[in-house]
Every structure is written in structure tokens, then in C-alpha cells.
Structure 1
Amino acid sequence: METSVLIPTNDMSRHVNEIVETIPENEFDEFKHHRGATSYHPKMMLKIILYAYTQSVFSGRKIEKLLNDRIRMMWLSQNQTPSYKAINRFRVNPKVDALLEPLFIQFHSQCLKQNLIDDKTIFIDGTKLEANANRYTFVWKKSIQNYESKMNEDSKALYHELVKDKIIPKIKEDNDHELTQK
């Protein structure tokens, strides 16, 4: 049985897959190398990393474990199982950061717009009711644009906070664990 049929249509893994698939193929030209072993495709690596982040998993070792345990990760990776070393090498690549930051911001913003994640209420139709119901308050297009700009800034700040507080410490923890095993 194909794994994709087991995943609901409105599942977060499908949203991750869709957003990564929107990246033009030429954005990955810099990742191609002509010597050594073939590497994992950057789109696949981005998918598993982004999905792991949506599950609050930041350790390369835990991401590697999810690739063997979770049907969604198996589907996103097309049953490939990169090691935690390959995952961490990919994550610390400066080219990846240049791709991942705008991708994370776009993904976070889309999830907020589609109410897939909860942050603050967004009023798209232009009208909201006040809690005390005294009057209608209208939200104009300019207000929505300002909110969207703020939402993108907040997403960017969240990305940098995750990198600093969660991702980098987990990569260091993976590396330290490897050193103590030798």
C-alpha cells in the first residue's frame, strides 16, 4: 500500500510537501556536486526538516528516528533515511539557511492564514465584532496589509529564535554525543 493514502488530505505533512514543491528546481542548482557520493535531494531534506520543526523536533538524531517511525516522515522522505549527520550537515550549510528562512516565514504565514496553527485571529472579510458588541468595527485593507507585514516580521523573529535557542543547541548536542561515543 502506498503511504500517501494513509495521510489525511488536510494533514500538516501535505502542507509542508506542497510549499516545498513550489520552490523552482533551479533554486537547488547550487546544491549539486559532481564528485563523491550522491547526496539526498535538498527538497526532500527541506521537507523532513520543516515537518520535524512543526512537531517541535529539532535534534538531528530525533529527526533520523522519526524517519523510521512515522508514516508522514517516510512519505516526505520517499522512504530514504539520511543519518543525523547528513541532516545536521545539511542544516548548517549557509545555502540552506538562505533557503530555509524565507521558506519558514512563508510556511508559518500560510499556516496562520489557513488556521492550521493558532496565533491571533485574522479578519479577512473586513468586519469584526467587538467583544462588548457596542458597535461594529471595520478592518480596512491597509490594516490587514499592516497585520500581514507584522505577521511576516513575527515569523522571521520566530525563525531566528528557533535557530538560536533550539536548533543550534540540538546540533551541538548531537555532535557532543558523537564525541563521547568515540
Structure 2
Amino acid sequence: MSQLMLDIPTAYEPEENHPAYQINQLVESLDFTDEYTTVRYPYHPRLLLKLVLFAYTRGIRYGRMIERFADENKVAM
């Protein structure tokens, strides 16, 4: 039985005037190398910080709502 694969592009770059772009630039400029080398997370703290900051710009402040926002919003993904 062959599997059906969907061809969905996953790379998304927001425009330079979008808040997500500015958040990405800010977080990428931070140094995360030494602080998180011994702790294992399923996601890199840099990725989670970007998501939380972007959710905050949209008025979303609670964990479950941020989770739903990340599932439903293309930019947050």
C-alpha cells in the first residue's frame, strides 16, 4: 500500500514590516549557547521565546491559548 504525501510548503518568511520578523531578529541576536546545553527540551528555548513573544503581541497570554494559536496561525507555526 502506498502512502499519500501532501506537498505543503513549510518554510515561511514574514515580511520585514511584520511583528514576527522583528521578533525573529531580536531573539536570533540573543546568545543561547551556554545556558541551555545541559537541559533537554523537546523544543529549543529560542523557538518557544519567539512563539510567546508573538502571541503576546496578539493579546494572547495563556498557555493553552498560545498552544491553539500556534496550531491555527500560519505565522506562529
Do they fold alike, i.e. is TM over 0.5?
yes
Paired letter, 2:36: F
- Of structures 1 and 2, the one scoring higher in RCO (CA 8 A, sep 6+) is 2
RMSD over aligned Cα atoms: 1.6
Overall identity of the aligned pairs, in %: 30
Max Rg structure: 1
Q: Distance in 2 between matches of 1:10 and 1:32?
A: 33
Matched to 1:30, the amino acid is E
CA distance in 2: counterparts of 1:25 and 1:64, whole angstroms: 23
* Residue segments in structure 1 that go unaligned for 5+ positions in a row: 75-182
Task: Measure, in 2, the Cα distance between the counterparts of 1:62 and 1:31.
Answer: 26
Q: Normalising by the residue count of structure 2, what TM-score does the alignment of the two structures yield?
A: 0.75
Deviation per CA, 1:68-94, whole angstroms, max 9, x where unpaired?
Answer: 1111111xxxxxxxxxxxxxxxxxxxx
Task: Name the structure 2 match of 1:159.
Answer: none
Instruction: State the number of aligned residues.
Output: 67
Match status 1:16 vs 2:19? no
Name structure 2 gaps, 5 residues minimum: 1-8
Query: Which protein has the bigger helix share?
Result: 1
Residues 30-49 of structure 1 correspond to what in structure 2 (within 5 A)?
30-33=35-38, 38-39=40-41, 40-49=43-52
Q: Secondary structure at the match of 1:3?
A: coil
Runs of 4+ in 1 over 6 A off after TM superposition: none
